[in-house]
Amino acid sequence: MHELGVAFHCIKEINKLAEENGVEKINSVTIQLGEVSTVIPEYFEDVWKWAVKKETVLKDAALKIEIINAVTHCNGCGQDYPTVKYGRTCPHCSSPDTYLVTGNEFIIKELEAVDTRA
């Protein structure tokens, strides 16, 4: 259950960020997730719902996930191509000398905070 560990780690980070920003309640969290990161969005949503129930600042906070497309660059011919469709071998020149440019991200993009004023 890899997503659970990542969710705990993520919640810890957000709690720290909330404290730094003087936030008492968070309505939603936007996460940017790479297409080929090891986190599966559906599983992450499930564990998130379960994990935030036990939180205070994050209690019932909604999760918004934005997917970042995976793009691989080929050192052989210098072109980019979609990773998920073609994998590690360049579809243009068949070179295996390629590296992932984007797609492995797990970024906390923004928090939607509620400032409760008396």
Partner 1 sequence: MDEVRIIEIKKSIFEDNDKDADKLREELRSKGVFLLNLMSAPGSGKTTTLCKTINALKDSMKIAVMEADIDSDVDARKILENTGVQSIQLHTGGMCHLDAEMTRQGLDGLNLEDVDLVILENVGNLVCPAEFDTGASKNCMILSVPEGHDKPLKYPLMFSVCDLVLINKIDVMPYFDFDLKLCEEYIHMRNPNATVIPICAKSGEGIDKFASYLKQNVKAAKA
Q: Which residue ranges make up the site for partner 1 (CB under 8 A)?
A: 1-2, 4-6, 8-10, 13, 16-17, 21, 23, 27, 38, 96, 105-117
Q: Residue 85 phi/psi, 5° resolution? A: -75, -40
CB of 77 to partner 1, least distance (A): 19
CB of 79 to partner 1, least distance (A): 20
Q: Residue 74 phi/psi, 5° resolution? A: -100, 125
Contact 100, 84 (CB under 8 A): no
Q: How far is CA 91 from the centre of its chain?
A: 27
CB of 81 to partner 1, least distance (A): 17
Q: Which is nearer to partner 1, 74 or 105 (CB)?
A: 105
Find tokens 């090891």 and name the residue: 38
Q: Which is nearer to partner 1, 29 or 81 (CB)?
A: 29
